[in-house]
Structure 1
Amino acid sequence: MKKLILIFLLGIHPGTLLAQPKNYSVGPAPRDNSSKAELASFRIAKGYTVSLFASEQDGIANPIAMRWGPKGRLWVLCSLVYPQAIPSEVPNDKLFILEDSDHDGQVDTTLVFADRLDMPTGFALGNGGVYLGQGQDLVFLADTNGDDRADHREVVLSGFGTGDTHQNINSFTWSPGGELLFCQGLHNFSRVETPWGIVRMNEHGVWRLRPRRMQLHAFRGCSGQNPWGLSHGHWGQPFAKSNGNAVSELLPVMVHTENRHPPLDIGGTRIKSMICEIIDSPALPDDLQGNIVIAGYFAHLIDRLRITSDGAGHRGELLDPLWTTDHQSFRPVDIQTGPDGALYIADWYNPIIGHYQASLRHPDRDKTHGRIWRLTAEGKRTVRAPNYHLMPTRELLESLCAAPLKERERLRIILSDRYADSERRAEIHHELANWISSFDPLDPHLDRQIFEALCLHEWFEIINSDLLERLLSARDPLARSYATRIVGRWHDRLPAPLKYLRDSVADAHPRVRLEAVVAASQLMSTEAMETAVLALNAPTDRFIEAALRQCAHALQRWWFTSLKEGQLAIKDTRHLAFLLDQTSGRDAAGIARTLLEDTSLKPSSPAFPVLAMILATQGSVEDLDWLVAKAHGDLQNSTPVLSAMQESASIRELKPRNPNLDSLLTSAVTNGTAAQQIHALHLIGYWQLLDLRELVITVIFNTRTSPEVRIAALRSTSHFPKIAEDRIDDLSKLTTLPGDIRIRHAALDALTAMNVGRAAQIAAEALIAAGPSDPLEPYLIPFLTRSDGALALSSSLQKTELSLGLRARIRGALGAAGLHSAHLEKALEPPSEESSPTIGLPVYSQQWIDSLAAEARKDGDSERGSKVYHRDSLACTKCHVISGQGMDFGPELTAVGAGLPLEIIIESVVWPRRQIKEGYLSTSITTRDGLVVSGHLKHEDSQRIIIEDAITRRSRMLAPAQVQHRQDAGTIMPPGLTAQLSREELRDLVRFLSERKGK
C-alpha cells in the first residue's frame, strides 16, 4: 500500500494531524508495573545477565539521562513535568545522585543534588559542577560547600530553541579535549548570544561549546531530524545518533556554515532508536568491545553495531540485539558504561512515547515508575574502580593511558573539577609539564601518552606547540588525525597553522586528510581554502568530499573574492571546478567561462563537464551562445556541453540565440552518438524549435533508430504547441503497433500532450485489454501528470465496462505510483447495482474501527495478512520496508506494531490522510506548461524547488518561475486503496501489521 502514516516519538508536528474524536493512540497500560514483572519479560542474549540497579523505590521515575560522577556514583536526571508543565504547578524535576556503597550492584543511597528544575533534557558533569539543559537555557549548577546539594546556579548561555520539548538541547557529551557537544531537534530555532557574537542554528544539528573561552559553534544537520546521542572513539572520532535508525559520521559536517549537508550515515538499526555508547570494558566479552550499543526505545530492545574503518570514516554492521522484550513500557533512553565495567540502561518506563497521538494529559502517561538496569557478562567479573577522586594528580595522569574509554573521560572530568578555578591553571600546567618530561621515547604507548597530555592541554586551553608537533608526527595515523584537529582549534594561537595543515592534507592516511580539511575550515582565510583543496590530489571518498564541500561554503567569502580578483593561488582547474560547483550566480558562471576558454582544457578533462554545467545553469544567454559555438565547432566532443544545456533547459526558460543552434542540434541528431542524439532531441523540445520538428518526427518513425533515441524524440514532441492532424493519426497508431513496448508507452505519453481526449480513449482500451501480468502504470501516469489528464481518462473509463478485478488492479497501480485523483476515484467506484464483497471506502466511524479491531484480535490471521500485504495490486512493498525488504519511499513498518495500537493502524490504512508522519507530507505542483509533479518536498529556496518525485523516486528540480499552482496534497498514499479488499482480508492485513514488533 502506498503509505501507512505512522506517528513516532520525537518526530511529529502537531499541525499535520487532524483531531481525533477518540483516543486510539495508546494501547492498554501494563496491569503489573512491578520491576519483577518487567524483568521476567526480558529475553537476554546468551552469556549476559540483567539485574535491577535502581527503581521508583529509590526515587527514580521517568529517567531521561544519566552520567557517572567523579566518586563512582551514578547521577540520574528525571522529569515528571515532561511533556508539558501544568500551568498552576511549579516545575520540580530533579537531578539525583545514586550510590552503591557496598558494590553489590544495587543502589544503597539516593540524594537529590538539584530540584525545582523545569523539564531538563540532558546534563554533563565537569569543571566543578553540572552543565544542564532546560528550555532555552544552558545552566551551570555547583555544590560549593560539599554537601552534595547544588547551591549555585547560573545561566551560561540562553536563547536555545524550545519549539518542541523533546527536541530541546540534549545528549551532553565531552570530547577528549573538553569541548561540550550537545544536540538540538528539528522544530527548534536558536539565537544564542555569546562573547564572540550571536550564534544561530535553525532546526536540527549539533552544538559545540568550548567552556573556558565561551566559544560556541553550530553544525546543522549532522544526523537525522532529531539527533539524540553522541559519542567519541578511542582517538576522539565523533559519532552521532539520530532518533531514527541511523548512526552518522559527525566529523565531516563539523564545519560552521549555514549550508546543511545530508547526514553521512554509516549504519543503523532496523527501527527508531537513540544513544550510541561505545563499549570498552574488561568486564564484558571480547566480541562486544568496540561495538556501539543503542537504546531501542521504540521497539523495546538494546541493539548493537560493529564499527570498522571505511576510508576516512567508518561503517557499521548491525548485529543481534543484546536484549529484547514485548513489555510495552520498557523504554531505554540512555546507556552508560559504569566504573565496574557493567552496562547501565536508563528505562524511562512508559506505555506512551509520543507527543501528538496521545493527549499531553493522558492518564496512562506514567509519572511514577522508572528503572536503571545493569547488564553484566556471565563468567566475567566486574571490576572495582580505584577511588580516583582521592588520588594525587600525578597518579591520575599516569592512570589515563591504561584506563578504559569511559574511565579516561571520568579522569579528565576529575582533573577539570580539581583545577576548575582559573587561578589554579598554572598548577595543572606544571603537573602536565612534569608528567610529559617522564615520557620514554621508546615506550610503545608513547602516542597514547602524548594524545592524553594534549587533550588535557585542550581542556585547560594551554597551548603547547612542541607537544602538538610530536603528535603530528606520531606513528599511529589516528593520533596524527587528532593532532590535526587541534591545529584547527588552536589556529589563532599558533604561529603557522597552515604549515601543519599542508603536511596533514598530504598525509598517506585518509582520516588525517579529512581532519585537515575540517581544521582548515576554521581559519577563515583564502589560504585555508587553498590548503584544504589539496585533498583532491589524493583519492577521496564521501567523507572527505562532504567536508570539502562544507569547507568551500564556510570559506566562500574569502576564496571567492580572491578568485574574482585574480588573487587565488589555486591553479589546478579540477580544484577550481570543485569549488565553483559549490557556488551559484553570474560571477561563478563568468569564472567558469574563463576557465573553459582556456584551450589547454580538454573536453575529456574531469573538470570540463562540471564547468560546462555551471556555465549552462547559471550563466546568461550569451554564455549559452558561447556553449553552442563551442559544441558546434567540435561535435565529436560536444556531449558534456549538450548535457549541460539540457539540464539548463529543464529548469530555466533561457534559450540561446546563436544562429548555429539549429545546425548544431541537426548535426547531433543525424551524426552524433546516441547520447548526443538524446540530448539534442530533448533540447529541440524544451526550446520548441519548430523548424526541427519534422526532424524529430522522422526519428520517431525510423525503426532502425535505437529505442532510447526514439523515446527521446517522443518526449520532445510533447513540448510542441501544435502538430499536424495526420501526424497525430500516425502517433495514435504507434501506441498500438507491435514491437518495443517502451515505444508504445512513450507514444501514448506524447499523444496525451497533443490530444488528451484521443489518448484517453486509447488508454482505456489498453487497460481493458491488458493481461494479468501487464503493467498498468504506463496507461495511467501520462494522465495523472497533466492538469487535464485525470478528467479525460476518467471520462473514457466511465464509458467502458470495468470488471471488479480491473478496478482493483487500477487502484493498486495508482497506489504504487503515488497517484490519486477525485475524478478517477469516482470512475473506479463499482456500479451501485453491482454486488461487491469488498469493503469499499467506508465513512470514518469509531464504531467501525472498534468492530474491525475486535475481529482482528479474535480472528485475524497474520500469515494470510502477509500475503495480502505482498499482493501486487496493493503495492505495499513499493513504498514500505519491513525488516529490510521493500522500498523506503514511505515510513518503515518493521516495528509499526510496537509503536501504534491496532486502532491507529486501521485508521492509517483505511483513511491515510488522517495520520501523516512528519517528512511524508505530499506536495503537488502544476507547472506553467500543464505538467503535474507530486512527491515529498526536499528543498526550497529562491532559486530552486526539489521534490522527490513519487513516480520516478528521484529528485526533480524546478525553478520557482515554472510553478503555476501548488498545494499540499496530504499523503502520497491514495484514499480507497483498501477498498478492493474484503473485510476478512483487511482484518488479516491489520493483524499482520500489528504483529510487526521489530524483533
Structure 2
Amino acid sequence: TIADHAHQSAHGGARVYQSDAFPEQYQGRIFMANIHEHAILTDRLQPVGSGFRGMHGDDFLLANNAQWVGFSMEVGPDGSVYVLDWHDADICGKEVLNKDTGRVFRVAAIDSSAQNFPNRYADLNTLSDLELARMQSVPSVWHATNARVILQHRSQTREIAADAVKAIEEQLQSTQHVDLRLRSLWTLHAIRKLSPQQMRRMFEDSEPYVRAWSIQLLCEDGQPPREAVDRFIKMASDDDSPIVRLYLSSAVQRMQDRPSKWSILNGLSQHAGDMGDHNLPKMHWFALEPLVVTDVARSLAFASTCKLPLLTRHIARRLADANKIDELLQGIAAASGANQVQLLLGLRDALEGRYDMQPPPSWEWVQQKLTAAGDEQAKLALQLSQQFGDAKAAEAMIQILRDRSTSMDSRRDAIQGLAGRKRPELRNMLVSLFDDPSVRRFAIRAVASYEDNALSRELLKRFAKLSDEDKLEAINAMSTRATHGNELTRALETGNIAKKEVPAHVARLLRRVVGNRFVDVWGPIDEIGSDKEALFVKYREVLKEDSVKKADASRGRLVFSKTCASCHKLYGEGSSIGPDLTGSNRAELEYILSNMLTPSAVIQDAYKMHLVLTDDGRIYSGIPTEENDRQLRMYVAGQNDPVTISKSQIESREISAVS
C-alpha cells in the first residue's frame, strides 16, 4: 500500500476526482467505497518519489442503510460521483443473497461549482473535430477523455480537421498546466499526428511527466527509434526525476533490443537514492529478471556495481534458482563490500530449506576469502557452510549456542540452521535450551525436526511452567510427527495436559498424525452439532446488548491471544495464517456468529490450509505465501515468520476444506 494509515476494512472501487462540481479541496483526491463501514472515504494523494502517498482525507459519506455496499465509482459529465451499490445483507458471504436490489446512486454537490462550458451536456458524437479538440482544455476529465476517444475513432477512417490538430498542438506548446499539456500529447498520439521527432523534443521538457509520457508513447510497440534509445540510455543515468526513471523501467520491459535494455538498466541501477522508493527497485527487477540467466557474467558484473541492494540480492537468488551456484560463488568472490554482502544474502535465501545441498567445487577457496573479508561476510559464509553440511560449521554454530553472551538473533539463527540439517549436536543440547529463556521458543520449535520422543517427554515435563505462548509452541511442535503426537496424546489421556490447551485446528492435525488412538482420547472432532440453528439461537441470547456491555474486554483479549492469535491478527498482534480480523465486520453479530460457529462454511482460496508431508515423516500445516520450482514458503500456526520447505523433500500435499 502507498497509504500512511489504515482504514481497517475492505474497500470496493476507487476513482480520482478530476472535475469541477465539488469544492476545490476535493480536486485530485481519491474516492473509495468502504464496504464494512457502508461509507465513501477519501484520501489526499501527495507526490512522493516515483509515485504518491495516500494521506487520510474526509470520511465523505456515511450511508444510513446497513445493506448499502459501495462497490464501484465513476465521475460523470456533470461532475457528480456515481456509485454502484451492491446492496446485500451478507457483504462477506460466498453467495449473493439479493440479486435484484443493486442500484446506482448519484452523489451531487448541493451548491455545484460546475462550469457551464460550451457543449457540456451535448452528445459529444455530434460535435465537430474542433469542438472535440477544445474539450481537451475543459475542467472535466470525463469530457476530455471521451472527446479523445471519439477523435481517435474518427482518425481511423479519415483525417482529423486541420484546425482541430492546430488547436491541440497550440495547447501542447503554450499552456503551463501540465495536465492540459498531457491531454494534448495523448490526443495527438491517439490521432497519429505526433511524430517521433516531436516526441523526442519532449525529452528536453521541464515537466517530468511530459518527458515520461514521451518515453511511454515511443515504446508502445516495443521498437522505439535508435536515436530515442540512445537518449533513453543517457536519461537513465542523468535524469534527476524518479518519475522519468519509473517510465524508463517500464519501457525496458517492452523493448526487444537486449544490449540496450542492459545499458538502460545499468544507468537506472546507479541511483542510490531510489533504494527506498516504493516502486523503482521492484520495477527495475521486473525488467532485469528475464535477462539474468541469459548472460551470467554480465549479471554478476551488474550486481557488483549496482547501488540498489534489492537488485543485487535478487540476481543472486535467480542465479541460484537456475543452478548457477558455482558461477555465482566466483562472482561473489570477485565482488566487495556491501554488494558482496547482498549477493551472499541472496544466495542464502535461495538455498533456504534445501538441506540436500553439497558444497560446490569452488566453495572452499571462496569461503576462505569471505572469512577474511569482514564480520558480516564471515557470518554469512558460516551459515552457507552449515547449509552445505559442513561439520566444522556445525561445530562453530554449537559454540555460538553455548555462549550466552552472543546475541539472541545469532543463537536463533544457529538453532534454525542446525535443526534444518537435523544435526545430532543440536539434538544433544536441546533439552538444556528448554531452560534458556532467551532461545526457549526456538528450541521448542526445533523439536519438530527430530524423530525422538525423548525430546517431547522432556518438553512435557516442563509444560506446566511454560508461558501461554510457549505452551502453544510446544503443542504445535508435538503435532507435526507421530512420535511426538503419541506422547502428547498420552499426556492428554492421563490428564497431565488439559484438552483446553489444544486448539481445534491442532486437534484435527493430531487426528491425522496419530490416528484413531487420538480420537479415542479426544472424542469426536466436529465443529458443532447437527442442530446448528439451536446454537445460533443460544448465542444470540448470550450476546444480547446488555450482556456485551457488562463483558470484560481485557479478558476477551486473553481469550483471543490463546484461541485465535495462532492464526489471526488483531490490531497488529497474532499470526498471519488467517485473515486479519482488525478490519472485519465485527460490529455485526450475525457475522461474528457465522464465523465462530461455522468457520469452515466459507473459506477464501488464499486462506485454505495446506497439509504438506515431507519424506522424513513431518507434517506442516499452514498457508503458502511464496512458491517457486524449488521452494515452498508457508506461514504455519503460531509463527510470525514463514518456514521454507524444499520441494525435493515433499512427499504429498493436499488442501484442507476445514478452517
CA distance in 2, matches of 1:720, 1:579: 30
SS at match of 2:160: helix
CA distance in 2, matches of 1:433, 1:840: 73
**Residue 890 (1) aligns with residue 578 (2):** yes
Deviations 1:149-205 (A, max 9, x none): xxxxxxxxxxxxxxxxxxxxxxxxxxxxxxxxxxxxxxxxxxxxxxxxxxxxxxxxx
Deviations 1:435-482 (A, max 9, x none): 35645966534x555422320132234441233133322222222222
Letter of the 1:640 counterpart: Q
Letter of the 2:29 counterpart: N
SS at match of 1:423: coil
* Contact map agreement 1:267 1:315 (CA 8 A) in 2: no
Letter of the 2:578 counterpart: G
* Contact map agreement 1:283 1:381 (CA 8 A) in 2: yes
SS at match of 2:343: helix
Identify the match of residue 792 of structure 1 among 487, 490, 505.
487
Matches within 5 A, 1:452-471: 452-471=183-202
CA distance in 2, matches of 1:451, 1:731: 66
Q: CA deviation at 1:643?
A: 2.6
SS at match of 1:776: helix
CA distance in 1, matches of 2:266, 2:233: 10
Q: CA deviation at 1:508?
A: 0.5
* 2:456 aligned residue: 760
Letter of the 1:423 counterpart: T
CA distance in 2, matches of 1:295, 1:705: 51
* Contact map agreement 1:517 1:548 (CA 8 A) in 2: yes
Identify the match of residue 80 of structure 2 among 322, 338, 342.
342
Deviations 1:94-134 (A, max 9, x none): xxxxxxxxxxxxxxxxxxxxxxxxxxxxxxxxxxxxxxxxx
Letter of the 2:288 counterpart: A
Identify the match of residue 924 of structure 1 among 608, 611, 624.
611
Matches within 5 A, 1:340-489: 340-351=78-89, 356-357=94-95, 365-367=98-100, 369-387=101-119, 389=124, 391-417=127-153, 419=154, 422-424=156-158, 426-428=159-161, 430-431=162-163, 433-435=165-167, 438=170, 443-445=175-177, 447-448=178-179, 450-489=181-220
* 1:610 aligned residue: 343
Judged with a 3 Å threshold, the aligned counterparts in structure 2 of structure 1 residues 528 and 797 are, in CA distance, closer, same or farther, namely same
* 1:551 aligned residue: 287
**Residue 305 (1) aligns with residue 43 (2):** yes
* 1:876 aligned residue: 564
Deviations 1:731-757 (A, max 9, x none): 646645xxx413555555666766843
SS at match of 2:157: helix
* Contact map agreement 1:612 1:644 (CA 8 A) in 2: no
* 2:263 aligned residue: 530
Identify the match of residue 574 of structure 1 among 302, 305, 310.
305
CA distance in 2, matches of 1:870, 1:460: 62
* Contact map agreement 2:222 2:256 (CA 8 A) in 1: no
Matches within 5 A, 1:846-885: 846-856=532-542, 858=544, 861-863=547-549, 864=551, 866-867=553-554, 869-872=556-559, 874-876=562-564, 879-880=567-568
Q: CA deviation at 1:293?
A: 0.8
TM-score by length of 2: 0.81
Q: CA deviation at 1:374?
A: 2.3
Deviations 1:755-777 (A, max 9, x none): 84333333333233457x77423
CA distance in 2, matches of 1:898, 1:782: 31
Judged with a 3 Å threshold, the aligned counterparts in structure 2 of structure 1 residues 922 and 296 are, in CA distance, closer, same or farther, namely same
**Residue 513 (1) aligns with residue 260 (2):** no
Structure 2 gaps of 5+ residues are none
Judged with a 3 Å threshold, the aligned counterparts in structure 2 of structure 1 residues 331 and 622 are, in CA distance, closer, same or farther, namely closer
Letter of the 2:462 counterpart: A
**Identity across matched positions, percent:** 15
Q: Which of the pair is proportionally richer in helix?
A: 2
* Contact map agreement 1:612 1:641 (CA 8 A) in 2: no
CA distance in 1, matches of 2:331, 2:398: 38
Judged with a 3 Å threshold, the aligned counterparts in structure 2 of structure 1 residues 697 and 427 are, in CA distance, closer, same or farther, namely closer
Q: CA deviation at 1:919?
A: 0.8
Judged with a 3 Å threshold, the aligned counterparts in structure 2 of structure 1 residues 462 and 647 are, in CA distance, closer, same or farther, namely farther
Identify the match of residue 437 of structure 2 among 727, 736, 741.
741
CA distance in 2, matches of 1:519, 1:798: 65
RMSD value, Cα: 4.4
Letter of the 2:189 counterpart: E
Q: CA deviation at 1:860?
A: 6.5
Judged with a 3 Å threshold, the aligned counterparts in structure 2 of structure 1 residues 790 and 849 are, in CA distance, closer, same or farther, namely same
CA distance in 1, matches of 2:328, 2:179: 47
* 1:288 aligned residue: 26
Count residues with an aligned counterpart: 635
Judged with a 3 Å threshold, the aligned counterparts in structure 2 of structure 1 residues 706 and 274 are, in CA distance, closer, same or farther, namely closer
* Contact map agreement 1:793 1:824 (CA 8 A) in 2: no
Q: CA deviation at 1:381?
A: 4.0
CA distance in 1, matches of 2:577, 2:651: 26
Judged with a 3 Å threshold, the aligned counterparts in structure 2 of structure 1 residues 336 and 437 are, in CA distance, closer, same or farther, namely closer
Structure 1 gaps of 5+ residues are 1-245, 249-264, 359-363, 656-660, 666-679, 685-691, 833-838, 974-999
Q: CA deviation at 1:891?
A: 2.0
CA distance in 2, matches of 1:291, 1:357: 33
Judged with a 3 Å threshold, the aligned counterparts in structure 2 of structure 1 residues 547 and 436 are, in CA distance, closer, same or farther, namely same
* 1:241 aligned residue: none
* Contact map agreement 1:596 1:612 (CA 8 A) in 2: no
CA distance in 1, matches of 2:408, 2:34: 50
* Contact map agreement 2:492 2:499 (CA 8 A) in 1: no
Judged with a 3 Å threshold, the aligned counterparts in structure 2 of structure 1 residues 881 and 511 are, in CA distance, closer, same or farther, namely same
Judged with a 3 Å threshold, the aligned counterparts in structure 2 of structure 1 residues 862 and 318 are, in CA distance, closer, same or farther, namely farther
* 1:631 aligned residue: 367
* Contact map agreement 1:880 1:891 (CA 8 A) in 2: yes
Q: CA deviation at 1:967?
A: 3.3
Asked which structure has the greater RCO (Cα within 8 Å, sep 6+), the reply is 1
CA distance in 2, matches of 1:333, 1:382: 25
Deviations 1:322-378 (A, max 9, x none): 2223524423333222222222223344445677446xxxxx6342x4433222334
Deviations 1:771-826 (A, max 9, x none): 7x774234334323444222212213433455xxx653x246x87x9995336999
CA distance in 2, matches of 1:756, 1:567: 49
Q: CA deviation at 1:316?
A: 1.4
TM-score by length of 1: 0.56
Stretch deviating more after TM superposition (467-476 or 388-397): 388-397
CA distance in 2, matches of 1:612, 1:790: 36
CA distance in 2, matches of 1:530, 1:569: 15
CA distance in 2, matches of 1:569, 1:734: 41
Q: CA deviation at 1:721?
A: 6.9
**Residue 910 (1) aligns with residue 597 (2):** yes
* 1:943 aligned residue: 630
* 1:499 aligned residue: 230
